[in-house]
Structure 1
Amino acid sequence: MTADVPTELVEAALAAARERGSDVAEVPVTAIAAAAGLSRSTLLRRLGGSRAPLDAAVRRAGVDPGGRPPVRERAMAAAARLIGERGIGALTLDAVAEAAECSLPTLHTVFAGRDGLLRAMFERHGPVLDLERLAADPPERIEDTVEQLYRALVVLFEHEPRVLPAIFADVFSRPDGPGARVLRENLPRMLGSLGPLLAAQVAAGRLRPWPIPLLIQQLLGPLAIHMLLRPTIEPVLGDALPPVEDTVQIFADAFLRAAALPGPAEDGGR
């Protein structure tokens, strides 16, 4: 049992880790036994046959024994599971700390609070990075731009755990809630990527000169709403609902018919 691990064994494990410059979890049992002045078999016998109680005792002493992903990664994974299962409203730092097996002060240090954790979650599971990658190397044809953007959006909405749908659900239900705050904070980055990309297409005469925010809504809104509703309507509609691949093409064609300007070959050279 963890409570039965003597203090001298914990100290021996920490000393062996310091000597090697590594985490306790990476120190062989033989080295820990030597630091404690014991044989390997004696050490394991005193630990009940496994080193797990020793690692737990080290953790209880306030030291992360290591051998696990960093706290940030564990917390992000735990938060994603909680959001996917219960929504943003159920996401508390206490719940994340328990699921990630870390302390509450550590979470505050890493994320500077709950909003910081949500910002990190949105960056990882939201469209910001995809938009920035697309804007950094945009396709020449507007058709290819729309297709790449839609395919990235579909992946984000379908990816488990469903963090992005949960964020949007919170936005719709609570305009002043945490989801809305995160969305507002990231809006400048999204506009900074997608806005110039679309503005360049407008300047080139490929898209109608609509206000950029409305052009973005026309581009993203229909598919985003569809992907939010699809898990609900798909079991009801069955085969009447086109596959996702076909749906992406339908929405892409609809956007281009509405927003794209005809080229010379399409308008008779006018």
Structure 2
Amino acid sequence: MNIDRLKTKAASELVLDGVGAPYQQIERAIRNKIQTGAWPPGYRIPPEEELAVSLGVSRAPLNKVLNNLANAKIIVRRRRLGTFVSERTDNHAVIGIIDIRNKIEQSGKEYSFELLKREIVNGEDAYGWQEAVRDERLLRLELVHKANGVNEVFEERFIRISVIPEVELQKFNAVLPNEWLLARLPCTRLINTIRAANPDRRIAKVLGLTTNEPVLVSERRTWAHNDALTWVKLSFPGYRNEFVGEFSPLEPLANLS
């Protein structure tokens, strides 16, 4: 997969309608991509310089648009990582990408994580991932997310090396897999199931639970364009976690510019 080609393709997908000032046309075009779901929550928006070249405009109106959208909480700008479509305040916020770091930090606690296991396995080992091919090579990760040093969320993840080969060299001791992936490939489709379950012994031990104490499990499959990219299972102690969704459609351009 040519990642640079994918980014350029995403930038070229924006089409201006010729009505109004350039920044208004750009904002309408971006909002349309988000509203229609073409750019879903977690999608990495192409860099300003790529958008400027593709649209034939200067970076000034682009910067104004991105600031407007960030202030409206429609996109999130992350230092050194890029600009992403935010987890909007609709039902997708519950069943979409769960930002554990943000969830913990918003509660006023200090976030950290610890990598517990990193190994290369075959597709047949990805028992929960139906898109995995039996003999393909996958990177398997286990890590624990912490709040004030206390183990809070257990994460198990598989990543397809064939889709993003450089992941094989990434150790993930200092950067989260989700953030690393989103900085390189867009999230164009995801399927997420949230359910209650009893943890197995390993997860219970890491989270300080008994096997009879339920956890909330988020099991997510994510695609980058047409390629199944990663499968992740997050286990949250049920008694101290909840997820709330609120539907609020994106406001018209005139009300937010």
TM-score range, shorter chain: under 0.3
Higher relative contact order by CA 8 Å / sep ≥ 6: 1 or 2? 2
Structure with the higher fraction of residues in helix conformation: 1
Structure with the higher fraction of residues in strand conformation: 2
Rg comparison, structure with higher value: 1
* TM-score, normalised relative to structure 1: 0.23
